[in-house]
Chain A
Amino acid sequence: MKLRFNRRSVLKGLLGGTAVYVGLPALDAFLNSNGTAFANGAPLPVRFGTYFWGLGLTDTPTGGTRWVPSKIGPGYEIMPELESLAALKDKVSVFSGFRVIGDGRANLVHWSGHASILSGIAPAAASKFDGPSFDTKVADAIGTSTRYKTIDIDASVSRQPVSYSTRTGSTFASPDATPLALYTRLFGPGFQDPNSDDWKPDPSIMLRQSVLSAVTEQRHALMKGLGKADQMKMDQYFSAVRDMENQLAVQLQKPEKCESCVVPAAPKELPRAASVDVVNENTKTMAKLLAMGLACNQSRVFTFVHTAGSSETYMAGQSKIYHQITHDEPTDAQLGYQPETSKLASQVMKGLGAFLTELDAIKEGDGTLLDNSLVMAFSDTGYAKIHAIENIPMFLAGRAGGRHKAGQHIAGKGDSVTRVSLTAMQLAGAPVGEFGAGSMKTSNPIHEVMA
């Protein structure tokens, strides 16, 4: 009611020639806003994101580990497959030995791992989660005062756009899958340069708001008579409309200045190929755009897919894809691991290295954007050859504005992956005390890494 009549009064004010910025809708977003204060010296906001890559890292049952450091705690040693993280090691915590506990549910290959990490529940069926992915909870908590609640990105050049972010468990986010699409979303039409001196509210935005209120007024009538599953779908529809309303409301506010925001040039389109060099290049380009989008306060939350769960990436010119190699390649008896697979895993990790480097390249206050961020990076599987869902590699990168005691190696000793997820949520500032279901239910984050 309040929402609706505020809208109307804004419009009427507009018609009467009243200054347009007097009657802004009192959206929850503004009441909850927790980060618009950086112009007057308050702490910089914490950003949160997930980074996913497919096919795990090498840690064989015969003991040939290529990524698990032997040292626990701070000052862990850089293992061969973590080489690309060496420069940022002090800002990255490594989590080994955490596992998915299915409570009798089958290991759905290249699905159960990340579905459990993100939703806290071992999934019953491939292609669906049994609950929302937790990035949406973080977005609801910290993402409402920016233009976009969340930015979903897919660098994988897959057949279908890949995203593991979901509110219903069945409808997944539709990510920006090319640098140009991402650029357009962040800096294309509708972008307001926070550092521009001649900012004026765009009156057409209020008319667009009236378009949406005609829709939201029908909510009650629409919900009536719907079955449970359909109600959930309609709920998500209206939640999407609310995000749009929030976006419009944000655009009616004069943006806070952001020192580190420098509007980038439009990127060139890259060749479309799924080879790992192209995917890494894509990752770097999109990370650069994303980092600036975060610095320009367009969003505080993101989800990023480097390669999908059953990744189709390959070394250019090699007829077998990485996925096939992880299964086919015999374990070298002397080395104790699969040499070709490990080489590819190192290539894939270059993507994460490049990604974090771009976030670290933006200066913010006394530190960098990465220092004010928390990125949870993880895969779908541990040792890919056998689709292991034990020892899935997970990382927390960035200092989360000082909340994360980064640079440690934590050995999970068979604990549930959800402990890492819960830690990530809490470090990002989401008011969540418990996460997961069944044996993966936990209210016990990893205190060692929390300041």
Chain B
Amino acid sequence: MTKTASLCALAGAVLFNVAPVDAAPATHSKDPPAVKVALRRVTESQYRHTIADVFGPGIKVEARFEPERREDGLLALGSAELSLTSAGFEQYFALASSIADQALSEKQRQAIVGCTPADPTQADAACAREFITKYGELLFRRPLKQAELEPRLESAALGATQAKDFYAGLELALTSLLVAPDFLFRIESAEPDPANPKQQRLDAFTKAARLSFLLWDSSPDAELLAAARTGAIHSEQTLRAQIARMIASPKFEDGTRAFFADMLQLDGFGNLVKDPTIYPKFNQAIAESAREQMLLRTVDLLVHKQGDYRDLFTANETFINRPLASVYNVAYPSKAPWAPYTFAADSERSGILTDIGFLSLHAHPGTSSPTRRGIKLLEIFMCQATPQPPANVDFSKVQDSTQGTVRGRLLDHMENEGCSGCHKRTDPLGLALEHFDGLGQLRTTENGMPIDVSADLKEGRIEGARGVGEYLRNDPRVPACLVRNVYSYGVGRKAFGRDRPYLAAQTKAFVAGGYRFPALVAQIASSPEFFSVAAPKAQAAAPVAQATVTQLQPSGE
């Protein structure tokens, strides 16, 4: 491997000398080299949204994307640490060819290419240049440098000549844009701040991309790129105007869905399995519907109704479809694929925690799991991590779970010193949700015994799922956690101690404004801290010793 690596490095070095890079239109050759402050792999949904925005929604994106990883509660933080594997690149390569093929099909090319070659059976350098320049900027989220344009022009010429088809040449050029690291990763760059030359600031294109990935879960559009090209994006006025425009756009719903799909950890549904002998109603359609239900509820409350974030935990209004109606055991009179549904005021169901999505995702294949639900509730909504369970747990006293309720079994953890510290925090909240089985179906008994859903918390005693909902609604850690997540998700790094005053101020404003999500996003995206530069470390960061249970599979509960 080293031999090949050095060969490539050599090739790169020689090339650099032989063919000096021309200054790109938007950069100045006298500038010191840009500092690349971060490299974040584009997520699957960002990829899909970008392709739809750039080439139209008709393009099919069929591939298996690389698995993402959660760090500190967010995939957005994990993707900042991930690279690509060989199998992953293979998928991207095949996908790039397929997208280029579709985008330049006879039906599409008219709308997409924008210029007409003098002779469609031959290469046409001028039209190819126009095409590559335009799509290069949309895909790389910045103008192409001369050295990036040239090889693609060559590819286009070779392909056109060989296939006697101008568009076949463009296909090659486009494929090579789509597999470039500049597209597959978000490369964030900084430059000296003209107002304070000793300090770095994010360059204009990096700023534009941060905004659009946070607000739209997609690449910047032409208007935002224009604001970056002129540098106008550095002015507060333009920045605020762009944010307002972007929040008013229907694409803000995409951005909101992507954020909550990440924060609510909805990525586990694709592979959720339940034992069919225990939960015969469960199937893949239920899993997908359960996921969609949580997003519909969230987007409707926060974007369409511009509602109070805290209502997410207590509101009776949700959406259901036919498969879900069977699990909720309610009628589905509508002919539409989805319909609004309001649970009765005395129902045990209210708020997102009683959606079967939350309840079934955080359970075992054949049972519920109060510990898992408790851990996830603390982690997702309150940003409270739970440490890994100790290795040498003594379970010898645990009871047989074929008798009685799970509460009895968990009490043994509470008596064990090594376990009680965490289980005292996690289990009560989960036990209060025990009227819902591993699929989220309502029940009142387990193994013939009535289930006690009361729970003693530090703050007092709560009763059942409604009690949990009220508890979250009133806990100040809940809005603070949302604020921290929006910020970390947007900037792609964990919040540190030095971010604390900033996050506290943002939370205060969020609370004062009535817990409105769009206002929160606007306020964070327009703050200077959102664009502050964290210099890259010269050494690879030491791994954090404290483990969270994010990826932890069932612990011994």
- Chain A interfacial positions (CB closer than 8 Å to B): 1-4, 11, 14-15, 27-28, 106-110, 123-128, 130, 140, 148-150, 152, 157-161, 167-168, 170-176, 181, 185, 203, 207-208, 210-230, 232-244, 247, 272-275, 308-312, 314, 316-321, 323-324, 327-328, 330-331, 385-387, 389
Do B12 and A211 have beta carbons less than 8 Å apart? Answer: no
Report B11-46 CB contacts with A as 1/0, cut-off 8 Å: 111111000010000000000011111110000000
- Asked if B275 CB lies within 8 Å of chain A CBs, one says yes
A216 to B83, CA, bound (A): 16
Q: Across the interface, do A386 and B147 meet the contact criterion of CB distance under 8 Å?
A: no
Q: Which chain B residues have a beta carbon within 8 Å of chain A's beta carbons?
A: 1, 3-5, 7-16, 21, 33-39, 64, 66-67, 69, 81-91, 93, 96-97, 145, 147-148, 151-152, 154-155, 158-159, 161-162, 172-173, 175-176, 179-182, 184-185, 187, 189, 267-268, 271-273, 275-278, 284, 364-367, 388-393, 395-396, 398, 401, 409, 535-547, 550-554, 556-557
Q: Which of A230, A309, A314 contacts B536 (CB 8 A)?
A: A230
Would you list 27 pairs from A and B whose C-beta atoms are within 8 A, ordered by A residue? A1-B14, A4-B15, A11-B158, A108-B391, A109-B388, A125-B543, A127-B547, A170-B81, A174-B66, A212-B176, A213-B151, A215-B179, A217-B12, A233-B39, A239-B1, A239-B86, A273-B276, A274-B273, A312-B553, A314-B365, A321-B554, A323-B554, A327-B395, A327-B556, A328-B395, A386-B393, A387-B391
* C-alpha spacing A242/B364, complex, angstroms: 41
Residues of B within 8 Å of A220, CB to CB, are 9, 12-13, 15-16
Q: Provide the residues of chain B in CB contact with A124, threshold 8 Å.
A: 542-545
User: Are A273 and B82 closer than 8 Å at their CB atoms?
Assistant: no
Does B89 contact A319, Cβ atoms closer than 8 Å? no
Contact check: which of A167, A225, A233 meets B35 at CB < 8 Å?
A225
CB distance from B92 to the nearest CB of A (A): 9
Known: A327-B393, A328-B398. A160 touches B365 (CB 8 A): no
- Shortest A149–chain B CB gap in Å is 6
Q: Which residues of A contact B551 (CB under 8 A)?
A: 126-127, 160
B94 closest partner in A (C-beta): A189
- In the complex, what residue of chain A is closest to B11 when comparing beta carbons? A1
Expressed in whole angstroms, the minimum distance between the Cβ of A272 and any Cβ of chain B is: 6
Contacts of A310 in B (CB 8 A): 552-554
Q: A172-B67, A327-B393 are in contact. Are A159 and B272 (CB under 8 A)?
A: yes
Most buried by A among B172, B401, B553: B553
User: Cβ of B69 and Cβ of A127 under 8 Å apart?
Assistant: yes
Residues from chain B with Cβ under 8 Å of A215 in the complex = 176, 179-181
For B155, the closest partner residue in chain A by CB is: A210
Do A219 and B9 touch across chains, with their CB atoms under 8 A apart?
yes
- A318 x B366 contact (CB < 8 A): yes
Question: CB-CB < 8 A to B9: which residues of A?
Answer: 219-220
Known contacts A218-B180, A222-B181: A240-B553 contact under CB 8 Å: no
Q: What is the CB-to-nearest-CB distance from A419 to chain B, in angstroms, rounded to a whole number?
A: 23
A238 touches B8 (CB 8 A): yes
CA distance A224 to B34 in the complex (A): 9
Contact at B8–A244, with CB atoms within 8 Å?
no
Task: Provide the bound-state CA to CA distance between A41 and B367, in Å.
Answer: 58
Given contacts A225-B34, A243-B89, contact A236 B396 (CB under 8 A): no
**CA of A323 to CA of B366, assembled, Å:** 13
Query: Once the chains are docked, how many angstroms separate the CA of A127 from the CA of B12?
Result: 34
* A229 lies within 8 A of B536 (CB): yes
CB closest chain-B residue, reference A238 = B8
Which residues of chain B have C-beta atoms less than 8 A from A323's C-beta? 553-554, 556
Does B15 contact A1, Cβ atoms closer than 8 Å?
yes
Besides the contacts A170-B81, A240-B85, A327-B556, what 9 more A-B pairs have beta carbons closer than 8 Å? A108-B547, A214-B154, A226-B39, A239-B5, A244-B89, A317-B275, A320-B367, A327-B393, A386-B392
Q: Quote the shortest CB–CB distance from A190 to chain B (angstroms).
A: 9
Residues of A within 8 A of B14 (CB): 1
How many angstroms between the C-alpha atoms of A312 and B90 in the bound complex?
Answer: 29
| Chain A residue nearest in CB terms to B273 | A274
Number of A-B contacts (CB under 8 A): 308
- Give the distance to chain B from A175, nearest Cβ to Cβ, in Å: 8
Q: Are A321 and B364 in contact (CB under 8 A)?
A: yes
CB-CB nearest in chain A for B15: A217
CB closest chain-B residue, reference A330: B396
A314 surroundings in chain B (CB, below 8 A): 275, 365-366
B482 to chain A, nearest CB (A): 24
In the complex the two chains form, is B162's CB within 8 Å of A229's CB? Answer: no
Set of chain B residues within 8 Å of A149, measured between Cβ atoms: 86
Closest to A11 in B: B158
Report whether B12 and A219 are in contact in the complex, using a CB–CB cutoff of 8 Å: yes
- Chain A residue numbers with a CB within 8 Å of B12 are 216-221, 223
Residues of chain B contacted by A140 (CB below 8 angstroms): 1
Q: Tell me the smallest distance from the CB of A58 to a CB of chain B, in Å.
A: 15
Closest chain A CB from B346 CB (angstroms)? 30
Q: CA A174 – CA B267 in complex, angstroms? A: 16
A320 touches B273 (CB 8 A): no
Contact between A328 and B543, CB atoms less than 8 A apart: no
Bound-state CA distance A161–B271 (Å) is 9
Measured between C-beta atoms, what is the minimum distance from B331 to chain A in Å?
29
What is the CA–CA distance of A151 and B477 in the complex, to the nearest angstrom? 45
Chain B neighbourhood of A389, CB < 8 A: 391
State whether A218 touches B539 (Cβ < 8 A).
no
Question: Which B residue's beta carbon lies closest to that of A313?
Answer: B365
| Neighbouring B residues of A214 by C-beta, 8 Å | 151-152, 154-155, 173, 176, 180
How many angstroms between the C-alpha atoms of A177 and B226 in the bound complex?
A: 43
Report the Cα distance A140→B2, complex, angstroms: 10
Query: Are B172 and A1 within 8 A (Cβ)?
Result: no
A3, A219, A235: residue with the most chain B Cβ atoms closer than 10 Å:
A219
Q: Is there an interface contact between A15 and B162, defined as CB atoms closer than 8 Å?
A: yes
- CB distance A228 to B540 under 8 Å? yes
Contact of B84 among A237, A275, A317, A319 (CB under 8 A): A237
Bound CA–CA A210/B8 (angstroms): 15
Contacts A160-B271, A210-B172 given; indicate if A236 touches B15 (C-beta within 8 A). no
Cβ–Cβ < 8 Å partners of A221 in chain B: 12, 16, 21, 145, 147
Q: Which residue of A lies closest to B181 (CB)?
A: A237
Note all chain A residues with C-beta closer than 8 A to B1: 140, 239
Report Cα–Cα, A215/B538, bound state, in Å.
26
B67 touches A28 (CB 8 A): no
Question: Does the CB pair A1–B392 fall under 8 Å?
Answer: no
Q: Provide the residues of chain B in CB contact with A11, threshold 8 Å.
A: 158, 162
Asked, given contacts A211-B176, A229-B537, whether A236 binds B273 with beta carbons under 8 Å apart, the answer is no
B368 to chain A: closest residue by CB: A319
Give the nearest-CB partner of B272 in chain A: A159
Are A324 and B364 CB-contacts (below 8 A) given A3-B8, A174-B87, A316-B275? yes
Distance A325 CA – B195 CA, assembled complex (angstroms)? 64
Do A107 and B391 touch across chains, with their CB atoms under 8 A apart?
yes
Q: Which residue of A lies closest to B277 (CB)?
A: A317
User: What's the minimum C-beta distance from A165 to chain B, rounded to whole angstroms?
Assistant: 8
A207: which of B159, B267, B393 is its contact (CB, 8 Å)? B159
A170 pairs with B82, CB closer than 8 A: yes
Closest to A176 in B: B87
**B64 & A150 in contact (Cβ 8 Å cutoff):** no
A308 to chain B, nearest CB (A): 7
Which residues of chain A are within 8 angstroms of B543 by Cβ–Cβ distance?
Answer: 123-125, 128, 130
- CB neighbours (8 Å) of B187 from chain A are 222
In the complex, chain B residues whose CB is within 8 Å of the CB of A236:
83-85
Find chain A residues with CB under 8 A from B158 CB.
11, 15, 207, 210
Bound CA span A244–B187, Å: 23
State whether B8 touches A216 (Cβ < 8 A): yes
Task: Output the least CB separation between A251 and chain B (Å).
Answer: 13
Residues of B within 8 A of A208 (CB): 93, 97, 175
Known: A228-B538, A312-B365. A324 touches B554 (CB 8 A): yes
